[in-house]
Amino acid sequence: MARLVLKFGGTSVGTIDRIKNVARKVKQEVDAGHEVAVVVSAMSGVTNQLVDYVKQVGRLADEREYDAVVASGEQVTSGLLAIALQEIGIPARSWQGWQIPLITDDVHGKARIERIDSADLVARMATGEVAVVAGFQGVSKDGRIATLGRGGSDTSAVALAAAVQAERCDIYTDVDGVYTTDPRIVTKARKLGRITYEEMLEMASLGAKVLQTRSVEMAMKHRVRVQVLSTFEEAAGSALPGTLVVDEDEIVEQELVSGIAYSRDEAKVTLVGVEDRPGVAAAIFGPLTDAAINVDMIVQNVSEDGTTTDMTFTVTKADLDRTVQVLEGAKADLKYRRLTADSNVVKVSVIGVGMRSHAGVAQRMFKALADRGINIQVISTSEIKVSVLIAEEYTELALRALHTAYGLDQA
Ligand code: ADP
Ligand code: ASP
Ligand code: MG
């Protein structure tokens, strides 16, 4: 007998029939003798609808009230699943974030989990009752409902698994595992049997939304065994049908590159003709930091005459307007000639721990893109990834070309 946490995403609970299907899957685990907690997302589309309602009422809404509204989708599905379980003879009750309680900081809209007081929940699970937990939500220290950022139910599930010391956290979704790249874009993408925490963390933070980045951070920190698997396909006999996120030493044969991710969430800003003197980078990025704008990739070119420089960098699309505002405000001080902004860009990244011990990974990327006539605008690298910024229209072509270039295509 084991203690398990199962998480079902929006598509998996998207209709009443699908909620009944989830109840049957939960019953299988209960019948096998396991103690089960289930974390649910809102029905697919519901959170988007709720966010849109908030925007219609007020653009700069009080974030605590934003949270009160958008957390409600998960309240509905947790109640519905508890009823569906009771209907098939499984004792179950719903738990809202505040009832557990799952305590967060007060950064509403993207709160971080600080702790979970799971004693009551564990005691009820020990009696054979399934705990159906509303994902994505908690309660801040001042007693207000808080949400964990989009995709946050993954983090609820992993945090709960750590708190109740579950044997495993199964993330059920609409694909049957983590693939070498988004299988909805590259049909030759291959399912990975295992992936390391580190690679999964890079994949998620570089755009693969199959797991929320914070859920992977949390899993890595608390060494939670996470499996990603399909709600809709029955596993054909195998004990672990999905992708397991594991430590590096659990992977026997390490590929050079394990995955390719992309993010359409970046925008490019260039300051043309900035004075080339010590302190100029600090002068540009200081005001952005003060405005809580995160800068991601950066490249600086010295102009031909050697006296001015062009500075190009990326921010998230959501921060683009504010970035332009801040830099225009600082024009007198920065003395640049021109500012350009471009949101038709995509960041494509190749990721693999194998890169640490092999040269030439970046070169293979640059060549594959060059062969397709795709121009690279900005490059950034770290120990286990190489990212490039290219025009958005080449996203699919680039993903497919790189997938082939690193030998990842399915046979
Ligand atoms: P859920 O609603 O269950 O949380 P998400 O839509 O958040 O599901 O995440 C699943 C989706 O992630 C898939 O439908 C797939 O399109 C996308 N995805 C992006 N990159 C990958 C990848 N490398 N492997 C698997 N899925 C990926
Ligand atoms: N329902 C929330 C969202 O759509 C949380 C989640 O599904 O993980 O972002
Ligand atoms: Mg998700």
pLDDT tens digits for range 287-313: 999 998 999 999 988 777 778 999 999
pTM for this predicted structure: 0.93
CA 130 to ligand 1 center in whole angstroms: 26
- Integer Cα distance of 364 and 100 in angstroms: 50
Instruction: Flag whether 256 is in a domain.
Output: no
Ligand 1 atom with minimal separation from the 11 CA:
2
Instruction: Flag whether 378 is in a domain.
Output: no
**What is the pairing mode between strands 92-95 and 130-134?**
parallel
Tokens of 150: 């989009």
pLDDT given at position 119? 97
Q: Is the CB of 152 under 6 A from ligand 2?
A: yes
Tokens of 210: 């199959």
Q: Cβ neighbours of residue 210 under 8 Å, at least 6 residues apart?
A: 173, 175, 178, 203, 204, 228
CATH code, 145? 3.40.1160.10
Instruction: Flag whether 292 is in a domain.
Output: no
- Given a cut of 90, whether residue 47 has pLDDT beyond it is yes
User: Residue 305, Cα to own-chain centre: how many angstroms?
Assistant: 44
Q: Is the CB of 136 under 6 A from ligand 2?
A: yes
- Integer Cα distance of 311 and 313 in angstroms: 7
Q: Is the CB of 110 under 6 A from ligand 2?
A: no
Backbone angles phi, psi at 239, to 5 degrees: -65, -45
pLDDT in tens, 101-117: 999 999 999 999 999 99
Instruction: Flag whether 331 is in a domain.
Output: no
Q: What is the mean pLDDT of residues 1-13?
A: 96
pLDDT in tens, 13-37: 999 999 999 999 999 999 999 999 9
With tokens 């004693």, the residue in question is: 119
Report CA-CA distances (Å) from 92 to 81, 95, 100, 162, 182.
Answer: 9, 10, 15, 21, 35
- Given a cut of 90, whether residue 241 has pLDDT beyond it is no
Q: What is the mean pLDDT of residues 326-352?
A: 95
Pocket of ligand 1 (CB under 6 A): 9-12, 41, 151, 173-175, 178-179, 181-184, 208-210, 259
Report CA-CA distances (Å) from 347 to 126, 178, 207, 247.
Answer: 47, 19, 9, 27
Q: Is the CB of 41 under 6 A from ligand 2?
A: yes
Closest residue by Cα to residue 261 from 207, 315, 223, 326: 207
Q: What is the mean pLDDT of residues 390-402?
A: 97
Tokens of 278: 């010590």
CA 138 to ligand 1 center in whole angstroms: 24
Confidence of residue 88 (pLDDT cuts 50, 70, 90): very high
Closest residue by Cα to residue 151 from 360, 11, 333: 11
Name the residue range of residue 190's domain. Answer: 3-251
The DSSP H or E segment spanning 54 is helix 46-57
Ligand with smallest separation from the Cα of 171: 1
pLDDT given at position 249? 84
Instruction: Flag whether 190 is in a domain.
Output: yes
Which one is predicted more confidently, 226 or 62? 226
For helices 72-87 and 63-70, angle between their N-to-C axes, nearest 10 degrees: 20
Instruction: Flag whether 28 is in a domain.
Output: yes
pLDDT in tens, 124-159: 999 999 999 999 999 999 999 999 999 999 999 999
Number of domains the chain contains: 1
CA dihedral 39, 45, 48, 50 (to 10 degrees): -80
pLDDT given at position 411? 80
- Given a cut of 90, whether residue 367 has pLDDT beyond it is yes
Ligand with smallest separation from the Cα of 210: 1
Percent of the residues in the chain that have a pLDDT greater than 90, as a whole number: 85
User: Which of 40, 41, 50 for mutating ligand 2's site (highest number of atoms within 8 Å of CB)?
Assistant: 41
User: Which of 179, 210, 406, 408 for mutating ligand 1's site (highest number of atoms within 8 Å of CB)?
Assistant: 210
Ligand 2 atom with minimal separation from the 151 CA:
8
Q: Is the CB of 150 under 6 A from ligand 2?
A: yes
| DSSP for 96-158, written as a single string | -GGGTTEEE-S-TTSPPEEEE--HHHHHHHHTTPEEEEETTEEEETTS-EEE--TTTHHHHHH
For residue 187, give the DSSP letter.
Answer: T
User: Which of 150, 169, 209, 213 for mutating ligand 2's site (highest number of atoms within 8 Å of CB)?
Assistant: 150
Percent of the residues in the chain that have a pLDDT greater than 70, as a whole number: 99
- Integer Cα distance of 402 and 365 in angstroms: 7
pLDDT given at position 61? 75
| DSSP for 333-393, written as a single string | HH--SEEEEE--EEEEEEE-GGGGG-S-HHHHHHHHHHHTTPPP-EEEEETTEEEEEEEGG
Tokens of 3: 């203690």
Amino acid at 330: A
pLDDT given at position 239? 66
Q: Which residues pair with 345 in a beta bridge?
A: 391
Instruction: Flag whether 307 is in a domain.
Output: no
Q: What is the mean pLDDT of residues 191-202?
A: 95
pLDDT given at position 305? 73
Confidence of residue 186 (pLDDT cuts 50, 70, 90): very high
Which one is predicted more confidently, 239 or 388? 388
Report CA-CA distances (Å) from 36 to 1, 6, 99, 322.
Answer: 10, 7, 18, 45
Instruction: Flag whether 212 is in a domain.
Output: yes
